[in-house]
Amino acid sequence: MNLPKWNWIAMVQAACLVALSVCLVEAQQPDQVDGQPYIEDIEPLPKTMLQAPTVEVQAERSFETPGSTEHWFGGFGRGQYAHRFDMMHKNPDDPARYIGFGQPLIGTSWRNRPIHADVFGGTIMLQNLIPGEIDQAAAFFDGVRLGYDFDHYWGMEARFGFAEGRLIYPSNTAISGKSQLILVDYSMQFYPWGDSTWRPYATFGLGAAIFQYDDEFGRTRDQTQVSMPFGLGMKYFIHQRIALRFELLDNVTFGGTDAQSASNFSVTAGFEYRFGGKNPSYFR
């Protein structure tokens, strides 16, 4: 075949370019190792890109904790005071359910069994019924209570107490008599430490005091007076259903026609049996 000289030159150059291209392609292909295809190394991504972002939290706290307090009653300007009086501590995980020096209850609460039935006993210092005419000696004082803690810081209860005292007649010491005192009242309790193992409280109430006694002439007299018990106490948590209780009260009675006003101090101890409620789980 007769081709022009310049065509032969073009064909040779094209063949050389094709051969060079084939060589370059083969040089760029990786070798196979043990019959396995070669996988090109890929630089791994930084761990910071592979890990999900985390948020530093305390698992035991689900919301804001009230600030620390320098004394048992808390401060007025820092939020602690309001926690004791808002009466809205319904969440079992509420960190505001205990504030103060008392060891907090963990995993349980006084409000697991908010209703309590109590028995108590102690001494009451009976004051003179009529000064100079009818005096009274100290007497054994016992009774029962029924109460309900409607918040970690507040409760209410009804009380029935009974005492039988010995009468002394200054005008005739050769004879003596007996008196009976019945106290029926309703009171409120304030627990400044909230849901703690040791649970101090202040109490204040209103009710009636019924006196029955014999005068020096043997006549029976009855007197019903308004009473106002107030004082301090302490409870100790043993179990969800059992608690110890100690109390110091001034059982003030306002006088009438047959008895004067008096402060009848009582010191008692007893225990509570607690029941009722939904028994929620207190996680902290």
Q: How confident is the model at residue 61 (pLDDT cuts 50, 70, 90)?
A: very low
pLDDT of residue 29: 57
91: three-class secondary structure by DSSP: coil
pLDDT (0 to 100) of residue 134: 75
Whether residue 36 lies inside any domain: the answer is no
pLDDT (tens digit per residue) in 143-153: 999 999 988 89
Which of 195 and 257 is assigned the larger pLDDT? 195
What pLDDT is stored for residue 189 in this prediction? 97
Stretch 27-55: mean pLDDT:
59
| Average pLDDT value for the chain | 76
Is residue 24 assigned to a domain?
no
Distance CA 276, CA 24 (A): 89
pTM of model > 0.75: no
Statement: residue 63 has pLDDT above 50: no
pLDDT of residue 260: 74
Determine how β-strand 262-275 pairs with β-strand 135-136: unpaired
Structural domain range at position 236: 80-275
Angle at 181 between CA 179 and CA 187, to 5 degrees: 170
For residue range 210-233, what is the model confidence (pLDDT) as tens digits? Answer: 888 777 667 777 888 899 999 999
Q: 269 or 138: whose pLDDT is higher?
A: 269
Cβ-based neighbours of 9, under 8 Å, separated by 6 or more: none
**Which two three-digit tokens encode residue 214?**
């014999």
Nearest of 188, 182, 184 to residue 230 by alpha carbon? 188
CATH number at residue 116: 2.40.160.20
pLDDT at 236: 95
The reported pLDDT for the residue numbered 169 is 74
pLDDT-derived band of residue 99, with 50, 70 and 90 as boundaries? confident
Q: Residue 105: what pLDDT?
A: 83
Tell me if 198 is assigned to some domain. Answer: yes
Give the Cα separation of 157 and 16 in Å (integer): 110
How far is CA 127 from its chain centroid? 38
Residues in the chain: 284
Residue 67 has pLDDT above 50, yes or no: no
Does residue 47 register a pLDDT over 60?
Answer: yes
> What is the tens place of the pLDDT at every residue in 240-280?
899 999 999 999 988 766 667 788 899 999 999 999 877 66
Domain membership of residue 134 (yes or no) is: yes
11 occurs within a structural domain: no
pLDDT at 82 over 70: no
Distance CA 195, CA 213 (A): 44
Q: What is the arithmetic mean of pLDDT over 158-171?
A: 85
Domain membership flag for residue 107? yes
**What is the reported pLDDT for 70?**
44
- Minimum mean pLDDT range among 71-85, 103-117, 190-204, 255-269: 71-85
Instruction: Report the phi/psi class of residue 241: left, alpha or beta, with left for phi > 0 and alpha for psi in -120 to 50.
Output: alpha
- State the total domains in the chain: 1
Q: Compute the average pLDDT of residues 50-67.
A: 50
pLDDT band at 78 (very low <50, low <70, confident <90, very high): very low
Angstrom distance (rounded) from CA 170 to CA 216: 9
